[in-house]
Every structure is written in structure tokens, then in C-alpha cells.
Structure 1
Amino acid sequence: MTKYKGRILFIAAGALLIIIWDFIYYFVLHYSFNMQIDLLFTTLILFIGYYTGKNYDDSNETVSALSKSEEKIKRLNEELQLVLQNISEVVFHTNSKGEFQFLNQSWEDFTGYSLKESLHKNAMHFISLNERHEFLRVLRRSISEKKEKTKIDFSFQMRDGRYRWGEVNIKLNYDDDGKLAGTVGTISDITERVHNEEELLEMNETLAIESQKLSVAGQLAAGIAHEVRNPLTSINGFLQLLRDDADIKTKEYLEIVFSEIKRIELVLSELLILAKPQSVTYKRINIVETLDHVAKLLNTNAILYNIEIQTAFKQEELFIRGDENQLKQVFINLVKNAIEAMPHGGSIRIHAGMNDYNKVEISFKDEGVGMKKQVLDKLGEPFFTTKTKGTGLGLTICLRILRDHSADINVQSEQGEGTTFSIIFEAVQQQGRKKREQIHT
């Protein structure tokens, strides 16, 4: 009904005008009735009323639509301003001269400068002098190539003097003549990322230096081991001859010397293992059999220290790919360390089974004295040992062997509670089953 309000009002007004006119014309002035003229006049008045009312209704609709559009635009503008003022990134707009025409509230947190003192200032004013030349070079090249977008990393100085890093994404706008009309874009704070990258680069350089040192140390250790072994063999032989003719007291001293020579030979052997790559043969092995063999081998030695070696295997067959002799060396070393960590006896539990990730997991848990966090952090470092007569190379060699087997190792220990070594291998059992299933099908 509101849509036709103007037409109804103007037609009603026209009809009223016709009635008044007819009353005056016929009843007051007593003119004679003319049907044709009267009908023409009535039609004309009603048509004018309808047309005028229609224009009025159309105008009202246009005004109403414009009003709604203005409200919608105002609401959208408010929402846009809300987003722009609360977004963590700086949003900016510059003119063709590079002067800021718009900045959101994040600018103040980003630089320490207020919006009032930053607007209509050239953006280059806020970039470090040592970065400004490179920034302008990249920007000018982008403009000359008529690029629409470009990204630049730069450093800037905050109002309080601190230097930070930013990443600016710029949208370049051109006029009809191809000249720069202005830019819009965002600036993100990447200071933390840059610092992390610098720390990572520094760490990689440090690791590279340490790796080079260890490589040189390994080569040097191998050379020393070979050079020392030859004279040591001669010394050992001549001492054997001297022992045959020596008196009882001298023999006692010589036994001490022989004991120390054996210790030197042990250190030299472990140095050679650490420095020189060993030939290995990787094949599919049942790790349960290997662990069972190690447990039986060391059980007698464990009994002497009042220690019981317990095994718990969830499956009779757990296949992995590796060198059995090297893995035996690792397992024997771990069990021996566990025995030496329990001077008052106890039990060592060896578990093996498939974990939730379909991998073979082996654990060695003792009830020994445990280790401090400082000791745990240094485990595996060459020549680091907590034993009075240890070489500090046993666990280093074990870790290298496990790394060569792509195995993961995890150590958990608490003082007085014991230590648990967990080793995870890739399983090959499922692959074997698939092959058998394919053969059967």
C-alpha cells in the first residue's frame, strides 16, 4: 500500500478537484452539461494525478533505497574501520610521493610514533638509513617494471631507539598514463623470526665447526692409535721376557704394568671403532632372538652382583633390518652399564614389542642409582664417563651404531629410581607378511 501512496493521494486529489469544479461549473454558474468536454477534462486530471503520484512514489523509493544504501555503506565502513584498527598488522595507504594518507592503530604499537605525527610524512622517514637505499632500489625497479605487487624486508628504528624488522607487502596503483598513483599495503613485525633465523644460522655454523673438530679429532685419534699400538706391542713383549727372570716383588709391579697396558689397548680399540668406519652387513633379523642371546650371555655375570635379568617379549618374532653383531654390542653395553649402576643388586628388565606406531620398541630398565639431568645432557659425548675406570667411548659408539640403523633412543632417569633406555626401530615384519599374502593370492 505504501508503494502506491502517491498515486492514491494524487488521484484522490484530482477526483476532489473534478467534483469541486463540476459543482461550481454546473450548480453555481449554471452552465449546460457537455459530456465530451467533461469526460476529456476528467480523464486529463486523473492522468496528471496518476503520473504525478507515480513520480512521487518512484522518488520515495529512490530516496528510501539511497537511505538504505547509505546505512549499509556506513555500517560496512564502521566494520571495516573496526577490523583495520584492531588488526595486528599495520595497514597503510600512500600517495604518489610516498606520503602516508592512512594508517591504522597498529602503527603506534609498531613504531612508537602517533598517527597524528606520522600522517602526511614520507614513509622513507621511518626506515633505517642503511636500509633506505636498498628499499628504494627494489621499489623503483618494481615501478619501472610496472609490477602490481612487491614484498620487502627492512629494519626500522622505533621512537625509543630500538631496532626491529618488518615485512612490507605493497600493492602498487598506477593511473591511466602508467604513472604511480599511490600504494596500499601491510607491514608485519618479523623481528622474532629474523632473530630465530640468525640464531639458527649461528647454531649451524657452530655445529659445522664442532663436526669438523670431531672429524679431525677422529682422524687424529686413529693415527695416534695406530702409532701407539706398534711400540706398545714391543713393550708388552719385552716385559713378558723380563717377567720370566724377575723376582716376586718385580713380578707384582709388572702385573700392574700389564694391567695398565691392557687398559691402554682397550682405549685404543674403542678409539679405532669410533674413528674408522666398520664394515657392516644389514639383513632381516629377529631382534627377540638377539636380545634373548644377550640376556643369557650376561646372566652369569649379573648373578655375581646379585642381579636378575628379566625378559618380557610380547611376540616371539620381531623383525628389523640391521647388523646383528653391532646391535649385540649395543645391547651388551647397555646391560653392562645397568649392572654397574646397581652396586646393591636388583633386577634388569628387558622388554620388546610393537608400539602404537607399528614400530619395534625395546627398553632396558634397571633399578640403579639413576642420573642427574646434567649427566643425562652429556650422555654420548666422547670421553665423558661417570665410571672411575671408564673410557667414555662405549655409549658414544652405541649411539653411532643406532644412528646408522636409523633408530631413535630415549633415556629417562631419576636419582635413586633407576634408568630406562628405550630404542625404537623400523619394523620389517609387516612387509614380510604382505609378500607372503601376495604369493598366496
Structure 2
Amino acid sequence: MLEQLENVNSYGSLFVTDNRHPCILVSMDGVIAEANFLFCKKFSLGQNDNFLSLLKRDGLRSWNDFKQECTETKEIILDDLALISEGNVECLCKTNIFYSNQTQQALVTFVLPSICTELPIADYLGYFTHASRLTMIVNREGHIIDVNNRISELFNLTRNAVIGKRAQSLYRKFNTQKRNAEAQYEAYIKTLHTIGEVTIKERFEDEPNTIQFFEIHAVYNSDSDLYIVEIQDCTEIEMLRRKLDHSGSLSTVGQMAASIAHEIRNPMTTLKGFVQLMEVTATGDTAKYLSVVDDELKRMEAILNEMLMLSKPSEEKISEFSLGVLITKVLEIMKPKAMFESIHIDWQDASFCNSMIYSNADKIKQVLLNVFKNAFEAMEPGGVLTLKLEKAEGTSFTLSVTDTGKGMTPLQIKNIFMPFFTSKPEGTGLGLPFVLKTMEDLGGAVAVSSVAGKGTTFTLVFPQHYLESCVIIDQSSAN
């Protein structure tokens, strides 16, 4: 214990966890550095107040005697320290004092007589009812005997609908792996009895497209033979963590791309040169085989270029241009492919002059080409590509790209932005990760919705201003 007192962080740890008694962290002059809830409630004092004002004459004498003896780290117990509690009532209490010579502070815990420490039952009920987390009390048999009002906020259930039910039935709603739910529940209960408390994180899926994550903290009280269970919604934190993990995977792909480019490009350039020389004099089957080799080398180069797009940081070539005009020019590039595959493009935009934005036109052009190319490849001849550009709320534009292709399953939707994930035989799985990375780099966003057998809609959000502090280097429209 004395070794812990040498570090002020240890004080804080002891201080926070001891909520059974009034407790303060003070200097030797009596100035309060920290005070727990029970001390503040009982004595109406807090941080920066002087606790010596509570002491009677005998109590002051005991404190001064202790102060003079403090030449090194030590702990003492004062059995009858005279002080004044709330209501100007004098009482004697046992006081535990831990002094650190390094910080020259003391942790003082007041063990008050029971008549002074009992709180009205209404205070406990009020805390339980209005606690920030969903809190349940469960008996040894696993039945919920009480729950606070947070149950309606998290699960849209009433207290009456839950009280009396088994906690195990509520747990099943968290665990989407139905086959393992029973075994996992038993394992948690066993751990709870062994170490007294356990914290787990579970996934809750009320509907196929509504996923939440909850942190469940349970404590077993052997004296009362009851479980106290707290549940907190941590969906936002979990989603942010997953987004960071995804960003990390894109960064890893970028590093791989740079390494692969260095290792492959030199021998590939040599191969292309020899193939071109041989094609000049080749005839018959040899010419046919060399043509195949040349096509495959071009495919390798295309894959390499897609990977390099992920590895290169977005260049801040910011210019002012019409997003509507840029979309039209990209569609002109795609028009021959659309005619060859009998795909109709439905694009009517009458607001070219109203869709001016400050952004990187080259990067946005690459994004549009990737999205349009994916839409074309998802459709059969006779399909329809529908584009709609709208001014969104605030200072941004929304472009929806809808195809009449085969659509995607929920699993495909969840994974389409992961590097190397593809459902196409000749796909690389790098186009959509590039789209996501580029849009995020430009301050925009990407969303996708799909119905299997009916089609898919990609929604791209373009901010009107990329960076307020950026320098406009080109005032011309996008090429």
C-alpha cells in the first residue's frame, strides 16, 4: 500500500473506487484537491475548500500532531476524530490517513458511525431510475427483478414487459450466432462467479439493416446473491473503430502497391519491348500467341495502375468547375460503350450554371468513370443508367447513379469497399476502394443501396468547397 502512495495516480485510483465512505485528497494545510460524492453530500464541501473547518478543537490538535510527524510516507488511523457533519451535528469517527511524502498530500477516509452514513432509500432509487446506463438487477435464478427506464430508450420495451423475465431470453437478442448463444451465456455466468465481474461486447440486430453494438458490464454481489447488469450503447464508437481499421487496410494496400510497382514495372517494360520487336517479324500462330501475350501484359499494367491510384495521395489541384458539365463530359467518354452494349443513359441536367464547386476535377472524373463502369458491367443489354444531380442541404451536391442490373446481396453491400473484394471474374476489387478513399479525401461521402434482381444506386455527395484555406490554381472548367 505504501508503495502505491508514492504515485499521485495511485491516489486517484484509490479515491475513485472507494465510494463506501466519505473520502478526500488534501494537502497538509487542509485544502481539498479531490472529494468523492459522499463527502460532498455529507459535509457540503468540495474541491479547493478547507476541510479543517470541520474539525473541533480536539480534532485540530490531532491533525497538527499528525502533520508534525509526517517526514516520510506513512499511514495512520485516528480512532476518534471530532468533526462537525451536516446540520452542525458533532460526531466522532474513525479516520484512515495515507500520506505521501513525494506529493505531500494525504488521502483521508472517514468511517462514520452508521447513523451518519445511511442514505435515504429515495436517493438510491433516484440514482437507479435516472442512471445514464440501462441498469438491471437479476436474481440468482436469472430472473430480472428490476430495471430502470433506459430499457425503453435502447430496446423499445417497457419495464413491466421485462421484469420477471429471464435475463437469458434478453441475452439471446444480442447474440446473432444462435447456435452458440447458450454456451456463451453459460461461460459468462461461470466467469462472473469466478472473478466477480465481466464485461462483454455484443452485436444486436433488430432488423437486417439495423445493427447496434452494446457493452454489457455485470457484477455479482455474493452478499445479496444478486447480479447488477449495466448496458451501454457503443454503436457509434464501434463504427468509428471499424472505419479506422478500414482506412488502415487501404493504407496497407497503398504500401503494397508502391512495392509491387517497383518490383514489376521494370521486368514488364522489358517484356513489352521484346514482344513488340517479335511482332514485327512474326507470322501465323506465333503472331497470334504474341498478341495474347501483349493483351495480358496490358491487363497486368491496368491492374498495376489501379493499385497505384490507392497508393498515391490526392493531389490538391483545386479548381472551380461545373459538376454538371463534368458529368456530361464523362458520359461522352462512356457513350461508345453504352451504344455497343445497348444501354440507355437517362441524364437530364438543367442546372449546369448552378452546380459550381471547388474541388479536384481530375480525381472526381476518375471516381465517376469507376462508378459508371461498374454500373455498365452490372447490366445486361437493354439496361438503363439513371443519373440525378441535386443540390443537397447546406453547401453540397448529391449525385445518384442508378442501374437496372442484378443488384447485390446484403453481404456484398457490406464488403464492396474492401480491397480485392469483387464478384466479377476479371475484376480486381480495387475500383470502389479507390472511389471511397478519393471521396473521403475530397471531403465527400459515398452511400450504396441495392435490391437483388432489381438494381443498385450509388449516392455521391460532393461538397461545394473542398477546403476554405486552399489556393485556387485554375479558374477554368474541368476538361
Q: TM-score, normalised by structure 1?
A: 0.56
Could you tell me how far apart the structure 2 residues matched to 1:236 and 1:171 are? 82
Matches for 1:392-431 after TM superposition, within 5 Å: 392-427=429-464
Deviation at 1:395, TM superposition (A): 1.2
Deviations 1:306-348 (A, max 9, x none): 1121212252321222111111111122112111111222221
Q: Which residue does 1:288 correspond to in 2? A: 324
Whether 1:136 and 2:22 are equivalent positions in the alignment is no
Deviations 1:219-242 (A, max 9, x none): 132111121101110111122223
Matches for 1:110-121 after TM superposition, within 5 Å: none
| Cα separation, partners in 2 of 1:402 and 1:223, compared to 1, 3 Å | same
Whether 1:171 and 2:41 are equivalent positions in the alignment is yes
| Cα separation, partners in 2 of 1:141 and 1:365, compared to 1, 3 Å | same
Matches for 1:216-235 after TM superposition, within 5 Å: 216-235=252-271
Could you tell me how far apart the structure 2 residues matched to 1:412 and 1:245 are? 53
Q: Quick check: 1:284–1:321 contact (8 Å CA) kept in 2? A: yes
Q: Quick check: 2:246–2:418 contact (8 Å CA) kept in 1? A: no
Deviations 1:279-327 (A, max 9, x none): 2312222111111111222122201111121212252321222111111
Q: TM-score, normalised by structure 2?
A: 0.52
Q: Which amino acid aligns with 1:304?
A: F
| Cα separation, partners in 2 of 1:150 and 1:329, compared to 1, 3 Å | same
Q: Quick one: which of 323, 328, 340 aligns to 2:360? A: 323
Deviates more, 1:375-384 or 1:135-144: 135-144
Deviations 1:104-143 (A, max 9, x none): xxxxxxxxxxxxxxxxxxxxxxxxxxx9997338945328
| Cα separation, partners in 2 of 1:169 and 1:373, compared to 1, 3 Å | farther
Q: Quick check: 2:408–2:456 contact (8 Å CA) kept in 1? A: yes
Identity across aligned pairs (percent)? 30
Q: Secondary structure at the match of 2:401?
A: strand
Deviations 1:366-386 (A, max 9, x none): 111111111111111111112
Whether 1:269 and 2:151 are equivalent positions in the alignment is no
Whether 1:311 and 2:347 are equivalent positions in the alignment is yes
Deviation at 1:149, TM superposition (A): 6.5
| Cα separation, partners in 2 of 1:245 and 1:385, compared to 1, 3 Å | same
Deviations 1:160-197 (A, max 9, x none): xxxxxxxx997224243685432535354646766548
Deviations 1:35-76 (A, max 9, x none): xxxxxxxxxxxxxxxxxxxxxxxxxxxxxxxxxxxxxxxxxx
Q: Which runs of 5+ in 2 are unaligned?
A: 1-12, 44-84, 94-111, 136-213, 218-231, 469-479
Q: Which residue does 1:113 correspond to in 2? A: none
Q: Quick check: 1:149–1:171 contact (8 Å CA) kept in 2? A: no
Could you tell me how far apart the structure 1 residues matched to 2:364 and 2:34 are? 61
RMSD: 3.6
Deviation at 1:263, TM superposition (A): 1.0
Whether 1:256 and 2:297 are equivalent positions in the alignment is no
Q: Secondary structure at the match of 1:272?
A: helix
Could you tell me how far apart the structure 2 residues matched to 1:143 and 1:328 are? 62
Q: Which residue does 2:117 correspond to in 1? A: 182
Greater fraction helix = 1
Could you tell me how far apart the structure 1 residues matched to 2:277 and 2:453 are? 49
| Cα separation, partners in 2 of 1:213 and 1:408, compared to 1, 3 Å | closer
Q: Quick check: 1:314–1:352 contact (8 Å CA) kept in 2? A: no
Q: Quick check: 1:172–1:183 contact (8 Å CA) kept in 2? A: no
Q: Which residue does 1:297 correspond to in 2? A: 333
Q: Which amino acid aligns with 1:394?
A: G
| Cα separation, partners in 2 of 1:331 and 1:200, compared to 1, 3 Å | closer
| Cα separation, partners in 2 of 1:194 and 1:270, compared to 1, 3 Å | same
| Cα separation, partners in 2 of 1:169 and 1:305, compared to 1, 3 Å | farther
Q: Secondary structure at the match of 1:270?
A: helix
Could you tell me how far apart the structure 2 residues matched to 1:365 and 1:374 are? 19
Whether 1:150 and 2:36 are equivalent positions in the alignment is yes
| Cα separation, partners in 2 of 1:305 and 1:214, compared to 1, 3 Å | closer
Q: Secondary structure at the match of 1:142?
A: strand
Greater fraction strand = 2
Matches for 1:13-24 after TM superposition, within 5 Å: none
Could you tell me how far apart the structure 1 residues matched to 2:410 and 2:16 are? 48
Q: Secondary structure at the match of 1:171?
A: helix
Q: Quick check: 1:312–1:349 contact (8 Å CA) kept in 2? A: no
